[in-house]
Structure 1
Amino acid sequence: MESPPAPTAFGPELAALLPRLRRFGRLLTGHAQDADDLVQLALERAWQHQARWEPGTRLDSWVFRIMQNAWIDEVRARQRQSRVLVSVDHETLAETGAGPDSPSPADALAVRQAVSRLSEDHRAAVALVLVEGLSYKEAADALGVPIGTLTSRLARAREQLQNLLSPEEPRPCLS
């Protein structure tokens, strides 16, 4: 078993999470500027409350949860102020490196648009499990929900994504 990191390791470990936090933020918000603001807010909160983090536990899950809660707060504030949420940020596609097995830019854009149409809960589940690679338990802990709830959200999100990305394909009847 690993020994808990020294308190001085908190800053470097937090900094190492930046690319993943930005990716999660973009999936949650659908917009690069909102994502950057969300990451900054989450980093500030994590730094201010680092004494609440238990060394030896996953720092990424803890910060993802901070981000999720901050985004929920932001969405509620925007709803109260009757502001419209921003749409998908199409320029983020250019920032991802395309390898030989990477989807075409058109396919990547279609996926990004489909993900942006998911509910916030479904988008967060997809971001943590399918993009960030967290286990179901880790993602459920980060979102503060039971594993069964996370599993259900992922199943519904996958079905909705499949319908959005290939609506013409016949689906098996579940009756």
Structure 2
Amino acid sequence: MDHAALEAHIPRLRRYARALVGDAVRADDLVQDTLERALRKFSLWRRGSDLRAWLFTLMHNIYINQRRAERPNVPWDETHDTPVRGRQEDQLVLRDLHTALEALPPEFREVVLLVGLEEFSYAEAARVLGIPPGTVMSRLSRGRERLRRMLEGDPPTPLRRVK
């Protein structure tokens, strides 16, 4: 096993986990759980395939399992530290963006973070989330539109369930 290759992905895993859970301590726990599972299951990784995508898939699955075990909609506690540039306006923008991301349904938030923050391609995000690329594109479009509306002060439109 090449530990250096695994370690090279830790900063991106931490960033994605922090954006996903909204809390530095929980994010570090999620990264640790991901790395622990990666080390235990490393024999399942196919040499020559994308290690980053495999790690993000592991993290996504762990996050989903943890979310199912927790009570839904745990509110973000503003006492947690958030990375902020020096100006108050920037802090307000980050707070609003974080609040808007938290308000997104999880299926939209995951796609927005993978494609927008982690720069995954649609195909990579689809593999990580286990959904078709068309679904990634749809969720990304709808997620970005909902974020834009929330950041402009418009209330989000409720989701319709189509069966």
Scaled by the length of structure 1, the TM-score of the pair is 0.79
Gaps in structure 1 of 5+ consecutive residues: 1-6, 169-175
Alignment of 1:61-140 (within 5 A): 61-79=53-71, 85-87=74-76, 90-94=80-84, 98=85, 104-140=90-126
Scaled by the length of structure 2, the TM-score of the pair is 0.85
Gaps in structure 2 of 5+ consecutive residues: 155-163
Shifted more, 130-139 versus 115-124: the winner is: 115-124
Contact 1:88–1:113 (CA under 8 A) maintained in structure 2: no
Give me the identity figure in percent: 39
CA RMSD of aligned residues (A): 1.9
Match of 1:30 in 2: 22
The Cα of 1:55 is off from its aligned counterpart by 1.5
Larger Rg: 1
1:142 aligns with 2:128: yes
Match of 1:154 in 2: 140
The Cα of 1:124 is off from its aligned counterpart by 1.1
Contact 1:30–1:86 (CA under 8 A) maintained in structure 2: no
The Cα of 1:73 is off from its aligned counterpart by 0.6
Match of 1:163 in 2: 149
The alignment covers a number of residue pairs equal to 151
Alignment of 1:39-50 (within 5 A): 39-50=31-42
Contact 1:22–1:39 (CA under 8 A) maintained in structure 2: yes
Higher relative contact order (CA 8 A, sep 6+): 1
Q: Distance in 2 between matches of 1:123 and 1:88?
A: 18
